[in-house]
Amino acid sequence: MKQIFAFVLLTIVTAIPSLAQAQFLAPQDSNSGSIDRIVAVVEDEVILQSELNDAVAAIQQQYANQPGQLPPIDVLRRQVLDRLVLMKLQLQRADDQGIRVSDSDVDQAVQSVAAQNKMAPEQLRAAVEQSGMSYAAYRQQLHDQLVVQKLHENVVHSSVSVTESEINNLLNSSTYKAGEVHLAHIQVSIPGGASAADIQAAQNKAEQALAAIKGGMPFKAAAIRYSDAPDALDGGDLGWRRMDEVPPAFVDTISGLKPGQTSGILHGPTGFHILQLVDQRAQSKQMVTEFHARQIMIRPSELLSPTQAQQKIQDLYNRIVNKHEDFAKLAKDSSNDDTTANAGGDMGWFQQGDWGTLIGQKVADMKDGEVSQPFQSEQGWHIVQRLGTRNSDMTSEIAHNQARQAIGNRKADQAYDDFLRDLRSGSYVKILVPELEEPATGNGKASS
């Protein structure tokens, strides 16, 4: 799971390119002069031809410099329609669960996109409108993505847990591999309750994809043309991930590849997969700087005004620096920090950000033995004395934390993929335009 807010998550299936790249999608009047029609019914909602046209035009705009990467237009329309269907289903389920996104949440998303593009929010708005898209429609796209992100979090939170035994089993496993890999993939899905014919059709499609790659088609183009995964129209790029985040069934296959090589067809629980190892890098030793410090904190209260708190911390500073009174005793007698006062203010060994940005920066800028001038944080007034520094090998601890995250991410991916499959197969979806239906020899998807 990416920590930063990714506006086109692998689990959020939309027809919107990366907003962080400032690609603003102008509505296209591709059906000008004709009456708009309904192309699909999704539960009690509909998808219009104009919606599909706009989404297809957005993908074509995204690949304007590489049009050859896109599949034939009939295949592209079916792919995009499937993403629109799945997006509507997710939004409907989120609404059923009472998931809401406020205007302030959207404002924060706008600010984040603007910052990533080195723009002010006003400049971002101007760029959106200059592209021909209404700013209201742009905010609605952000709103919908935030809603689906919250739905994803709810699904994962309720179904994913990681135990210490799982972490230890992974780290001690003979199949555990260190390092990181940059992967791309093609996934040909098998629908829930698939028949033997569905499975055979999916396998045939995977074989066509592999044959195309062996025949010289770039992997990215093959992913766009054949993959059913939400990231298909992004070329199947999975980005960098640690080897312990890769499903165990695929680890040995990836370990046997060299950068640029492609696997054969792998049969997984959700369908058939083809993997490409784009690049790899070894795990390095994880050395971090740790600080040892102690502090006194005076917190304003009903009995101590902010001015009095500031005066008290200044008095304590003078007693320590000028009168050479014992720091530990003064901390035990006067500090309002419950976690350190009884230990004479001792904060133990910590990394720079563990006690907050402000304290971390103060300690990093000091010398051993130095006592800081009083400074104010949100908690109160502080005096900090740096006692020492050391470089620590945190490789094992970091590996433990990464193993926990990897297991959680792997379970989360599987949980949400299962959720989407169940959501799609258990919902009423009717495709009203025959040429937009999946062909019988495709990947087994069918209208409900």
Full pLDDT tens readout for the chain, 448 residues: 222 223 332 223 333 333 333 344 444 444 444 578 999 999 999 999 999 998 898 888 888 888 888 888 998 999 999 999 999 999 999 999 999 999 999 999 999 999 888 899 999 999 988 887 889 989 999 999 999 999 999 999 988 999 999 988 888 776 566 678 899 999 998 877 778 888 999 999 999 999 999 999 999 999 999 998 888 888 899 998 878 778 877 888 888 899 999 999 999 877 899 999 999 887 667 788 999 999 999 999 999 999 999 999 999 999 999 999 999 999 999 999 999 999 999 999 999 989 998 999 999 999 999 999 999 998 899 999 999 999 988 778 878 888 888 889 889 988 999 999 899 999 999 999 998 987 654 443 444 4
Rounded CA gap, 435 and 429, in Å? 15
Domain contains 168: no
Q: Could you list the residue range(s) of the whole structural domain that residue 63 is in?
A: 19-159
d(CA 336, CA 80) in angstroms, rounded, equals 59
Q: 61: buried, middle or exposed (CB in 10 Å: 19+, 13-18, 0-12)?
A: middle
Is residue 206 located within the same domain as residue 340? no
315, with CB counted inside 10 A (0-12, 13-18, 19+), is: middle
445 class by beta-carbon count within 10 Å (0-12 exposed, 13-18 middle, 19+ buried) = buried
Q: What's at 412, amino acid-wise?
A: A
Cα–Cα distance for residue pair 59/66, rounded to 1 Å:
11
CB 182 within 8 A of CB 260: no
The structure's pTM equals: 0.55
152 and 190 assigned to the same domain? no
Q: Is residue 444 part of a domain?
A: no
Confirm whether 373 is domain-assigned: yes
| Exposed / middle / buried, residue 17 (Cβ in 10 Å: 0-12, 13-18, 19+) | buried
Number of domains in the chain: 3
236 C-beta neighbours (distance < 10 Å), count: 23
Q: How many CB atoms lie within 10 A of CB 132?
A: 12
Nearest Cα neighbor of 223 from 212, 232, 213 is 232
- End-to-end CA distance of the chain, in Å? 32
Please indicate, yes or no, whether residues 131 and 84 belong to a single structural domain of this protein. yes
Tell me which H or E stretch contains 198: helix 196-214
Domain-located, residue 2: no
Contact between 185 and 148 (Cβ < 8 Å): no
Same domain (yes/no): 355, 404? no
Is the domain of 65 the same as that of 182? Answer: no
